[in-house]
Chain A
Amino acid sequence: MAKKVGTEVSFAAAEAIKLANADVIAAYPITPQTHIVEKLSEYVADGDLDAEYICVESEHSAMSACCGSSATGARTFTATAGQGLELMHEVLTIPASSRLPMVAAICNRALSGPLSVWGDHSDMMGVRDTGWVQIVAENGQEVHDLLISAFKIAEHKDVMFPVMVHMDGFHLTHVIESIIIMDQEEVDKFLPPFNYDHKLDPDSPVSVGTYGPPHIYPEIKKAQEVALTNSKETIKKIWKEWGDMFGRHYNPVETYKSDDAETILVTMGSFSETATLAIDKMRAEGKKVGLIRLRLWRPFPFAELRDAAKSADNMVVLDRAISYGGPAGPLCSEIRSAFYQMKKRPQVVSFIGGLGGRDIAPEEFEEMITKGVEIAKNGSENEYEMLGVRE
């Protein structure tokens, strides 16, 4: 039986990897993901998890080892954050193009400089175009559930992509929450063993990662893009199976009081829970506001988003990353472009905040919504507003 415990979210993440019975873990310690891999190495040391734990000398080698492991047919996991994800960047495109399933827990963190170990979404936005499935968790329970289901998504014959499960550094990774930890039998029922068709095996030799000149490269890229876009339906199906089996339902786009909302706040990650407090307060004052939270960042859930926001006149989007010199925060840019071709489209206003671990309080969300509505009505000289920055 699954049991509810008070535990650090990082430990619940490690527990998910143990329950998924990962074969190979290759990771380099970097705050804030370190607790996940420390816990996993304890499991391996105690014999609670029969896996090979490779203590690599860098994140570049962590992802490289994961590519080798997955290509050999092993269930493969890594975790990293911030600068570590940046160092991995070059390797990230490999499992996506070679279709090597694996799961990575990414504990979102700001990028240097100045040095900041604290959380924001700069790292996650930097790897947006590497071809991974990117899923963003809101709380500890989601981290636990989404990591287990991520293996089923990654290894599904209609997907075969690497999957990142994003969780906010410190705001999630280092907090203790009440989390329902799954039971092994339940997980085994949900998650079939990994059976990779093209594994490196002398009995049936394959060449992986061959050289693609101009006569074939665009076709390979188109095939990859179509496959990633199509994976959304399988992701939804797998989350529905999870919901049907365990009663916790996950969707690419989550909504909160947004059905009849004139103004919708859009967030990703752990700040969304705080934002609901502001929504509740403003609703109580009779204001027609609601919240949309993106759980699936790649493939981008265009249809689900358009459907969820069909009543909205205004959308106020919070980004926890800057696209330097660009039009708005990266999340806002994509939301704007998702609605641009629509006949009826909302005004989309960009706010950037929560950088480098800076907190956002419920009343600030309230201010953001109020100011966002004003900008939507009267316009602004700024491409985006920076939240709570001293000038």
Chain B
Amino acid sequence: MDKYGLYVPKLAPRKEYFAPGHRACVGCGEMLAVRQVCKALGRETIVINSTGCIEIVSSLFPQTTWEVPWMHTLFENAAAVASGVESAIKVMQRKGKYRDKKVNILAMGGDGATADIGLQALSGAFERGHDLLYVCFDNEAYMNTGIQRSSSTPYGAVTTTSPTGKKSIGQQTQKKNLPAIAVAHNIDYVATASPAYPFDLMDKVKKGVNTKGPAYIQVFSPCPTGWRSPGELSVALARLVVETGVFPLFEVVKGKYKMSMEFEKLRSIKDYMKPQGRFRHLTEDDIDTIQARVIEEYNKLKEKAYGQ
């Protein structure tokens, strides 16, 4: 283990582009993921950030966490702002007015900014084929504004706008399948990733940004505050979500699905749900229903990867 401790840090660059000292909650899985994404992208990067937790905790004037050029404008338009940056660099490089070196363009936002209010701008950027990577940090609700449901909130989860009640189980709809929406745009690279698997995540970020044209990665981002889970369990939850098949890791390269990791037997979703307050109200029957749905979705995904 000691040797492993010496070896592992050598696998990732030491330099931080998302510097320490930001104001995120203890145990924030999202910031861990942002840090990994930034490590993978390196210095030659411009970040376009939508409004949300990441923007708020990293840019309180006059301080900044960002060691790379960073721009925030609004909630729903990161993909459109990034389209403008990409086009500007393209034309100015052509005219000899900008450094003649590849610049990685990262547009990013939370699940609300991506799946709900920013879906149109995202679709536009994909359709136009801008050379950029969009990363959605999916913590499964509007956390920054106080834990309201988004279309990426899973069935049964409690949020402040999907409360439980005599007539409500919590979130009553199924999680929107954003990777499939991205794939439907015929873009060349789509993937899911989790910060519990940092090398897989960083590898996917590099592949995504080196893909010509748009690429999309959805990164699972545990939120102890919003999920009412202990902060020290964030990495464990980011691993359990994969091992239970709730958030499988896969890649879609030029339309071809490929599982990133496989398990002989998926763990019970109870292992993943139990430590989270947002699922605590669910009955055994509810959990059985959700378990069946997870298996069904997982098999559908495997069918896409392996065919019939």
Contact = CB atoms under 8 A, between A and B. Distances in A.
Contacts of A208: 69-72
B69 A68 contact: no
B59 A200 contact: no
B73 interface: yes
A224 B26 CA distance: 36
Contact of B124 (A58, A71, A76, A216): A58
Using C-beta atoms within 8 Å of the partner chain, give the interface range for chain B.
35 or more
Given A202-B103, A210-B64, A57 B123 contact: yes
B84 A209 contact: no
Interface in B116-163: 120-121, 123-124, 127-128
A102 to B, nearest CB: 10
Interface string B82-111: 111111111110110111000100000000
B235 interface: no
Contacts of A24: 84, 87-88, 91
A91 B78 CA distance: 12
A318 B71 CA distance: 42
Interface string A65-84: 11111111110100000000
A211 B57 CA distance: 9
Given A52-B91, A57-B124, A202 B81 contact: no
Contacts of A360: none
B81 A67 contact: yes
B46 interface: yes
Given A65-B81, A201-B69, A207-B66, A54 B95 contact: no
A66 B45 contact: no
Residue with the highest number of chain B CB atoms closer than 10 Å, among A62, A72, A73, A212: A72
B59 A64 contact: no
Name the residue among B87, B97, B120 with the largest chain A CB count within 10 angstroms.
B87
Interface of B: 43-46, 48, 55-56, 59-62, 64, 66-74, 76-77, 79-92, 94-95, 97-99, 103, 120-121, 123-124, 127-128
29 contacts: A23-B92, A24-B84, A26-B87, A50-B95, A54-B128, A57-B121, A57-B124, A58-B120, A58-B124, A60-B121, A61-B79, A61-B124, A64-B73, A64-B77, A64-B84, A64-B121, A67-B71, A68-B86, A71-B71, A73-B88, A73-B92, A193-B97, A202-B46, A203-B99, A205-B70, A207-B66, A207-B69, A211-B72, A220-B61
Given A68-B81, A70-B84, A205-B68, 12 more contacts: A23-B97, A50-B94, A52-B91, A57-B124, A57-B127, A61-B79, A65-B84, A68-B71, A74-B88, A205-B66, A211-B61, A212-B61
